[in-house]
Chain A
Amino acid sequence: NAGVMQNPRHLVRRRGQEARLRCSPMKGHSHVYWYRQLPEEGLKFMVYLQKENIIDESGMPKERFSAEFPKEGPSILRIQQVVRGDSAAYFCASSPASEQFFGPGTRLTVL
């Protein structure tokens, strides 16, 4: 059983561009979570999704950020009009119910 997959592993964008981060959960996992980690800091919750539903988006910035988990395909975290402050590592976790298993992350750098 493959682990949580994230791509790309590294993403460089210029200010104002869009960033799309993808997450494929472990087989059989129906819960997906996105977290953001700034350098030398802990992980901060962003959004929790199940297939075709956003369950909790209390950690998502109100503007420029969106997430989806379609019926088919990976979960996508989309950041529009990126700014330098968006530079961080973005981790996806999947869960069958309780334990959360993390992917390797996408490191976003905004120039």
Chain B
Amino acid sequence: GENVEQHPSTLSVQEGDSAVIKCTYSDSASNYFPWYKQELGKGPQLIIDIRSNVGEKKDQRIAVTLNKTAKHFSLHITETQPEDSAVYFCAARDTGTASKLTFGTGTRLQVTL
């Protein structure tokens, strides 16, 4: 089955700096890679996703890149703000449009003033 690894487990940046979180996956047939933000006591919130036919996707301050050959994808947050502080999870979807997600272990991002 699919295995997703995520690094780093914790990340502290100063407000205004950029943050990068990296994930690798094992199943070359995976074709959909979402990123979720989870705040304390809440459910995961979908913030951006990318499909395997695209190499990069951007939405305001966040962007995701995908390298299918190397089987890794990354989340980039620019101009970080205190409200970006949360736990971020990457995930990969097994083959098939409506299949389960396999999650990474999460990155706790702390944006300091």
**A residues bordering B, Cβ < 8 Å?**
4, 6, 31, 33, 35, 41-45, 48, 55-56, 58-59, 91, 95, 97-105
Contacts and interface: CB of A to CB of B under 8 A. Distances in A.
B43 A102 contact: yes
Q: How large is the interface on B (under 10, 10 to 19, 20 to 34, 35 or more residues)?
A: 20 to 34
Contacts of B89: 42-43
Interface of B: 6, 32, 34, 36, 42-46, 49, 89, 97-106
A33 B34 CA distance: 15
Nearest to B49: A99
A33 B96 CA distance: 15
A41 B87 CA distance: 10
Contact of B105 (A42, A91, A105): A42
Contacts of A105: 42-43
A32 B6 CA distance: 25
Contacts of B32: 98
Contacts of B46: 99-102
A43 B105 CA distance: 8
Contacts of A4: 43
B36 A102 contact: yes
Given A42-B89, A43-B89, A100 B101 contact: yes
